[in-house]
Chain A
Amino acid sequence: MPLAFLAVTILQSCGGNDGNNKNNAVSDDVASAVYVPPGEHDELYSFLSGGFNGQVSVYGLPSGRLLKVIPVFSQFPENGYGYNEETKPMLMTSHGFVPWDDLHHPKLSRADGMADGRWLFVNGNNTPRVARIDLRTFETVEIMEIPNSAGNHCSPYPTNNGEYVLAGTRFSVPLDLEKGGMGDASLDEYKDKFRGSISFIKVDKENGDMDLDFQILVPGFDYDLANGGKGPSNDWVFFTTYNTEKAGTLKELGASQNDKDYLAAINWKLAAKYAAEGKAHEMPANYYHNKLDHGTHQAKSTLKKKVRYLLPEECPGMMYLIPAPKSPHGIDVDPTGEYMVVNGKLASSLPVFSFSKMQKAIENKDFDGEVNGIPVFKYEAVLHGEVKEPGLGPLHTEFDNKGNGYSTMFVSSEVVKWSLKDLQVKDRLPVYYSPGHLVIPGGDTREPYGKYLVVMNKITKDRYLPTGPELVHSAQLIDISGDKMRMLLDFPTLAEPHYAQAIPADKVAPNSVKFHKLDENRHPDAVKSEKDVSVTRQGKTVKINMTSIRSHFAPDNIEGIQVGDTVIFHVTNLEQDWDVPHGFAVMGANNAETLIMPGATQSLRWVPKQAGVYPFYCTDFCSALHQEMQGYVRVSPRGANVPIKFSTGERKHPPSTASVN
Chain B
Amino acid sequence: MQRRRSSCLTRSQVFCLALGCVRAMPSVAQGTLTTPSILAPASTPAKEIYGLSLFVLLITGTIFVVVGGLLGLVIIRFHARKGDAEHEPAQVYGSTQVELAWTVIPVLIVVVLFLTTARIIFAIQGAPEPKSALDVTVVGHQFWWEFRYPKLGIVTANELHVPVSTSSNPEPTYLKLLSADVNHSFWVPQLGGKTDLIPNHPNQLWIDPQEAGLYRGQCAQFCGVEHALMLIRVYVDTPQQFAAWVKNEQQPGAQDPAVAAGRRVFETEACMNCHTIAGTAAKGTFDPDLTHLMSRATIAAGAAVNTPENLHDWIKDPNTFKPGALMPAMQLSNQQTDEVVAYLLTLH
A and B physically associate: no
- What residues make up the interface of B, taking CB atoms closer than 8 Å to A? none
